[in-house]
Amino acid sequence: MTPWQVERDYRAVLTGVYIRADQPLDFAQRSRALGVTYPQGVLAGWSAAALHGYRYVPEDVEPEIVLPAPARRRAGVRLRYDTLLSGESEEVLGYALTSHLRTAYDLGRWLPFDAAIEAVDGLCNIGRRDPKDLLVMVAQHRGDRGLKQLRRVVDLADGGAESPWETRTRLLVVRAGFTKPDTQVLLTDERARLVARVDMAWPQYRVVLEYDGDHHRERGRYSRDVRRRNSVRRLGWDVVVATKELVVRYPDELLERVADALRAGGATELPR
């Protein structure tokens, strides 16, 4: 191809790496370009998370790759030199990535504490792993930076969280002194037919806590949510609904509603 044809039909992602002009130039594409630039490397951190399908990658992060030896640096990307043990990387659609668990291990050590919990929750959720599996990795990598934080992250993490806001809602109630709710709970009727899968619940008190994001306000979704929650209530469960506004601006109001529901369900030991 001539330089003119390249300029007309393609655009640069990194030096020497191009995509068609009609393709989106997003973080995942930049991460793939980094993998092409360093084929001997393994995409890691947020790059691995994005290519594993994690949908909540921050907007201001750089593509990241682990290399076996020092290489020439490039602007706008992060190069790391680290030891990956057997099973800590895998190939996904032709790209070498750190595994779900190794990606959670890295982000759980490096990110600010609450953001680390959110990332570990999400990666363990899509990878179908128990956050406590990270403790095995901790034992295998003694001396790595951030292990003290990672142990604390594992104590609060839960692979049942499907979004950062579900994590934030759970952390709010746990830090307020409530017992940790079960996550992704299946509710069935008297004939053992599935009625709903709910974000969080205290089954012994028949209380459900769900987080509603903005997408729940869409007309079709809102109608389905109302019908579903009516079905859950007919089974004798109380349903508490959290929103971003309640979690951020009115947490005391949300916590009071949770306490009332648990009390009505028979709970006696509640935070004051």
One DSSP character per residue, 93-116 reads TTEEEE-HHHHHHHHHHHS-HHHH
pLDDT given for residue 23 in this prediction: 86
How does residue 206 score in pLDDT terms, banded at 50, 70 and 90?
Answer: very high
CATH topology match: 3-156 vs 164-264: no
pLDDT over threshold 80, residue 6: no
How does residue 218 score in pLDDT terms, banded at 50, 70 and 90?
Answer: low
Region of poorest pLDDT, from 70-74, 147-151, 173-177, 211-215: 211-215
pLDDT given for residue 203 in this prediction: 97
pLDDT over threshold 90, residue 213: no
CATH class, range 164-264: alpha beta
pLDDT given for residue 1 in this prediction: 75
SS3 197: strand
Report pTM. 0.90
One DSSP character per residue, 164-198 reads HHHHHHHHHHHHTTPPPPEEEEEEE-TT--EEEEE
Would strands 89-92 and 95-98 be described as parallel, antiparallel, or unpaired? antiparallel
Residue 170 half-sphere exposure, CB side, CA atoms within 13 Å?
Answer: 26
What Cα–Cα distance (Å) separates residue 202 from each residue in 194, 210, 242, 263, 266?
Answer: 18, 12, 15, 12, 11
pLDDT given for residue 217 in this prediction: 61
| CA atoms of 101 and 134, how far apart (whole Å) | 7
Question: Per residue in 20-34, pLDDT tens?
Answer: 888 888 999 999 999
pLDDT given for residue 209 in this prediction: 97
Residues whose CB falls within 8 Å of the CB of residue 196, separated by 6 or more in sequence, listed in order: 186, 187, 228, 229, 231, 232
**Annotated domain spans of the chain:** 3-156, 164-264
| CA atoms of 107 and 101, how far apart (whole Å) | 10
- The better pLDDT of the pair 248, 217 is held by 248
pLDDT over threshold 90, residue 129: yes
pLDDT over threshold 60, residue 216: no
> Averaged over 108-136, what is the pLDDT?
97
AA identity, residue 237: W
pLDDT given for residue 225 in this prediction: 86
pLDDT over threshold 90, residue 234: yes
pLDDT given for residue 51 in this prediction: 97
CATH number for the domain whose boundaries are 3-156: 3.30.460
